[in-house]
Structure 1
């Protein structure tokens, strides 16, 4: 039994916002809220610029717009998010031995034993670079 386990957690940064910014570059650097337009809607995702005003995911859209009135509200496109999620998953699965997809924007990778051949941290950095280059989406990794 192997006692040294190495697990990587991958999280696409502000995934819905990042995909929207690929389609609309005018949103880059601006506060963005992804969600419905009605007062009863909730924020599905928000940019870091909006978070500075106290906005967060799952917040009522009415409150988010009060906290950050200059934010651009985007309805969102689940088909597009699913497409990019599949692309990222395919990249990870092509490079990693054991992958668990936790959500549309998160994965866990078991890289136990790879340190003998590649060095886990170096391998993770190369995977991050590949995903970013092929998708133009920001992604964060945690290695334990």
Structure 2
């Protein structure tokens, strides 16, 4: 039983997934969402594009050098916002207490739910319901706090689920790269790596 139970919901490459839902011909292709001008940057990219080294916030011109066959779309924020609102209403119907952290991320406080029925079973059922009704891939993480749950959802990607039992937080985080911590930015990561600190275990020592 969790003293606290925080569920993190994180949609996989949300903008990309919405575009692929609207146009199934885009599925399985390297797809980049972002500005197409000289200073355009990647807002989101498919896992096929990521395999070439493309990542969010990368300049589009660099991304296209790495993946010249990528399809580039400017994106449609109205469509993404509409889908986000639909998802929010699904969650609102099921969860009494939740926080919308961004257009495609949510935190749910499930503390006390184990007294009635299991948090993890309920979380997996909620995930399946959202996937079924939205048609979008979703990863989840459940633990005693936001940080571990967010990292857990990241480790579950794509389209998976990760449970970190109470008391197992340190052993779960220890072998992971410091890049997996949301509080460690790219510049800080470079500095720590230069100092020989590359894992959470090394950071905690």
Do the structures match in fold with TM over 0.5? Answer: yes
CA distance in 2, matches of 1:79, 1:31: 23
CA distance in 1, matches of 2:19, 2:123: 26
Partner of 1:121: 120
Choose 1 or 2 for highest CA Rg.
Answer: 2
* Normalised TM-score (structure 2): 0.68
CA distance in 2, matches of 1:7, 1:93: 16
Structure that is richer in strand per residue: 1
1:39 is displaced (CA, Å) by 2.5
1:120 is displaced (CA, Å) by 0.6
Deviation string, structure 1 residues 13-45 (Cα, Å, up to 9, x no partner): 100000000111111001000011122100000
| SS of residue in 1 equivalent to 2:122 | helix
Partner of 1:107: 106
- Count of residue pairs the alignment pairs up: 142
CA distance in 1, matches of 2:20, 2:84: 15
Partner of 1:16: 15
* Normalised TM-score (structure 1): 0.96
CA distance in 1, matches of 2:86, 2:11: 12
CA distance in 2, matches of 1:22, 1:39: 28
Partner of 2:38: 39
CA distance in 1, matches of 2:86, 2:117: 24
CA distance in 1, matches of 2:116, 2:71: 47
Partner of 2:88: 89
| SS of residue in 1 equivalent to 2:100 | strand
| SS of residue in 1 equivalent to 2:18 | helix
CA distance in 2, matches of 1:118, 1:19: 33
CA distance in 2, matches of 1:115, 1:81: 34
CA distance in 1, matches of 2:8, 2:96: 14
Q: After TM superposition, what 4+ stretches of structure 1 lie above 2 angstroms from structure 2?
A: none
**Consecutive unaligned residues in structure 1, runs of 5 or more:** none
* Alignment RMSD: 0.9
Report 1 or 2 for greater relative contact order, CA contacts < 8 Å, sequence distance ≥ 6: 1
1:75 is displaced (CA, Å) by 1.0
**Consecutive unaligned residues in structure 2, runs of 5 or more:** 144-205
| SS of residue in 1 equivalent to 2:38 | coil
CA distance in 2, matches of 1:101, 1:79: 18
